[in-house]
Structure 1
Amino acid sequence: MGVTVLVLVGVLLLVVGGCVCVVWAARGGPRWVRVVSSVTLGLAEVVGTLARGSGKSRSGSSSDD
């Protein structure tokens, strides 16, 4: 396995773990789960904002014929 694959697997595990913590926190999990859930939701918001921002810059640079 290459290093890239290992990094991608690690990121995938972090994402899945974050999602599990969000669901667990919604059901009243321990404090550390609520902290991980807050971090996960905050990162998701940042990534969503960045994705929307990059989409606007790409659509603004294209021309309609």
Structure 2
Amino acid sequence: PPEPRGLAGRAFQVLALEIDHGRFERELWFPVEVDPNRTTAERRDGWLWIHLPLKGGSR
């Protein structure tokens, strides 16, 4: 996917890429804790960007 605007030079990783249409649901498990209170999602230019900040700033 194209690099998100405003993130030039910042690290990010695409963990899953799904090209489909219509309604769907996906459940994901991560090996680290994410902060659900800071999680955001947005649709931009036909892409769904999901930002999952780590809980407590851990790496």
TM-score range, shorter chain: under 0.3
Q: Which has the higher contact order (CA 8 A, sep 6+)?
A: 2
Would you tell me which structure has more strand in proportion to its own residues?
2
Q: Please tell me whether Structure 1 or Structure 2 has the larger radius of gyration of its CA atoms.
A: 1
TM-score normalized by the length of structure 1: 0.20
